Amino acid sequence: MAIVHFEDVTVSAGSFTGYASSASIEATQGYSPVRAVGWKGAIGTVPEGAPGGSASFSFSGGAPAFAKDQDPSSGHTVTVGATSDSGGIMTNLSVSVEPNAIATSTVEYQFFTPPSISNGGGSSMGTGSGSSAVGGQLLHGASSGTSSGYIRGEYSASQSYDAIYALGSLCPHFKYRTDGEITLTLEGGDLSGSIAACDAYDCATSALTFSIGSLCGGGASWSETVTGYTTSRGASVDEGGVLSGSMTVTEYF
């Protein structure tokens, strides 16, 4: 059995290339045995379902690019060392940051065909060229903010895809997005937003820009604008603590 060993390599997901704190990519294809009376064991196998795969990355100090209008017919190129596939569709992205803390993020991809998993021997040595892909400096709670004052923020984006299969092929005939959602939850003392009953298709929306700056300033290195509905508001305080408000804006696409 060949042993694959990668050392000091970068990973890429979509337009982002850099160092991940953890990464995994998996190709899957399930089979079920076909059995017959009078025969021990299986006489053959049939696919349990369509082939596919998944990939997951975790970043400390980085935020992979998220394309909510991503074309499902092409997808993103996802690479770990010498393992690469161009058919990855981003399904989940989570970015978190707190004051005086390094930003963390995770991104997940779905494949409708198995990604190309390298099984060759040897090792691949990286050049370190991806070290600048996190903005030159680690993304950090310092120099971060939104278009509304806050002390803590949580950004999350997700989308789902479905596929139509044609007879005679395991590959999707057509892929389409079934739903998408972005949520931005903020906590602080200077938050405002309205929640009102509305039965029209064009209810009032709120726009917030969530940005994460570099470790030592220098402006925002990653930012996203969420334009959606205020879906929750609240306030909380602990014993001996400071009253703080919270608000969640949800964008559907």
For tokens 């930003």, what's the residue?
Answer: 103
Per-residue pLDDT for 126 more than 60? Answer: no
Q: Angle at Cα 220 formed by Cα 214 and Cα 225, nearest 5°?
A: 140
Q: Angle at Cα 104 formed by Cα 220 and Cα 158, nearest 5°?
A: 90
DSSP β-bridge partners for residue 12 = 17, 79
145 phi and psi angles, rounded to 5 deg: 180, -175
The predicted-structure confidence for 57-76, as pLDDT tens digits, reads as follows 888 876 666 666 667 777 88
Per-residue pLDDT for 130 more than 50? Answer: no
Per-residue pLDDT for 2 more than 50? Answer: no
Per-residue pLDDT for 156 more than 90? Answer: yes
pTM for the model: 0.77
DSSP β-bridge partners for residue 155 = 95, 184
Q: Of all helices (H) and strands (E), which one includes residue 221?
A: strand 220-236
Residue 117's pLDDT band, with cuts at 50, 70 and 90, is low
Report, as an integer, the average pLDDT of 153-164. Answer: 91
Tell me what percent of the residues of the chain surpass a pLDDT of 90. 6
Domain extents in the chain: 11-28+45-121+136-252
Grouping H, G, I as helix, E, B as strand and the rest as coil, residue 134 is helix
32 against 216, higher pLDDT: 32
Residue 120's pLDDT band, with cuts at 50, 70 and 90, is very low
